[in-house]
């Protein structure tokens, strides 16, 4: 399972304050904690800093790259910001995100062709967030076809099924799980990723839902998640689920985590 650490986002009050004050110690420390907890990528997002996003995202990238030796996931609503920052990062980045909306896809073409990268592609189009598995698969087909035509290898494409809260519709969890399962059946070799905590939005004790939902998604084939890796129980569930699903040869990851004391009951 590919883990993208989601914590360095200026929509979080503490991060926004640290960016405002140029608090290097806070941002560096958070990035280091996420990597130590198992993050493969660190997501950096300054999208809430309207009017200062370019400057602030560049600063965040410099601080995080000085603190940890993992690639970055770059997230912005502005393709111009993404192009500028993608040129500067040291390691192959993950670019988040394009969609099947024609205007957004056209705008993102230059970004994903700027340099070799992984691409997070949201399975939504002009109709909005998919209301059925078939609609999601239609969008997935558009994204896979057009991204591979741009030269993006299939294994570098991470399709996001667009998870929605079960507080809005009780069947949204089932829809997400079935969409993940069908994406892997229809497009062998492609990867899937999601903002996992969307499932629990609006509900109390969200961590309970998130921790079990990730297990169900792994069972359906999910290969990546944008999560808070400092939730040790969630990370434990990921390790255990992958072991049970035959994705951990000779249980090496499980045993390594056990020896390190990282399995939390």
User: Does residue 1 register a pLDDT over 90?
Assistant: yes
The confidence score (pLDDT) of residue 226 equals 97
- Mean pLDDT in the chain? 97
Percent of residues, the chain, with pLDDT higher than 70: 100
pLDDT tens per residue, range 173-199: 999 999 999 999 999 999 999 999 999
For the segment 247-262, the average pLDDT, to the nearest whole number, is: 95
Domain 95-230: which topology? TIM Barrel (3.20.20)
Q: What is the mean pLDDT of residues 192-210?
A: 96
- Cα–Cα nearest to 187, from 217, 154, 160: 154
Best CA proximity match to 71, nearest among 251, 224, 222 = 224
d(CA 76, CA 97) in angstroms, rounded, equals 8
pLDDT in the model for residue 97: 87
CA pair distance 155, 223, nearest whole angstrom: 11
For residue 248, pLDDT beyond 90: yes
Per-residue pLDDT, 99: 97
**What is the pLDDT averaged over residues 145-150?**
98
CA–CA gap between residue 196 and residue 165 (Å, rounded): 10
Q: What is the pLDDT of residue 169?
A: 97
Q: What is the pLDDT of residues 82-135, one digit of tens each?
A: 999 999 999 999 999 899 999 999 999 999 999 999 999 999 999 999 999 999
> What is the pTM for the complete model shown?
0.96
Supply the pLDDT for residue 163. 96
Model confidence at 255: pLDDT above 90: yes
């Amino acid at each position: 399972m590919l883990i993208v650490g989601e914590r360095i986002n200026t929509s979080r009050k503490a991060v926004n304050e640290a960016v405002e004050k140029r608090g290097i110690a806070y941002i560096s420390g958070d990035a280091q904690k996420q990597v130590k907890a198992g993050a493969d990528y660190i997501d950096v997002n300054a999208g809430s800093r309207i009017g200062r996003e370019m400057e602030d995202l560049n600063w965040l990238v410099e601080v995080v790259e000085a603190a940890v030796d993992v690639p970055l996931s770059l997230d912005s609503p502005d393709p111009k910001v993404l192009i500028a920052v993608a040129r500067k990062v040291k390691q192959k980045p993950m670019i988040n995100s394009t969609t099947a909306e024609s205007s957004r896809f056209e705008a993102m073409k230059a970004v994903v062709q700027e340099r070799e990268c992984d691409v997070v592609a949201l399975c939504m189009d002009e109709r909005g967030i998919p209301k059925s598995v078939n609609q999601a698969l239609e969008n997935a087909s558009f994204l896979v076809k057009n991204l591979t035509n741009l030269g993006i290898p299939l294994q570098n494409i991470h399709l996001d099924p667009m998870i929605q809260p079960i507080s809005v519709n009780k069947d949204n969890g089932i829809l997400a799980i079935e969409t993940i399962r069908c994406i892997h059946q229809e497009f062998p070799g492609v990867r899937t990723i999601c903002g996992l905590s969307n499932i629990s939005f609006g509900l109390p004790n969200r961590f309970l839902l998130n921790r079990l939902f990730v297990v169900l998604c792994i069972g359906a084939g999910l290969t990546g998640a944008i999560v808070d890796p400092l939730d040790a129980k969630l990370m434990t569930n990921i390790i255990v689920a992958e072991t049970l699903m035959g994705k951990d040869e000779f249980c090496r990851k499980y045993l390594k985590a056990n020896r390190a004391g990282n399995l939390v009951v």
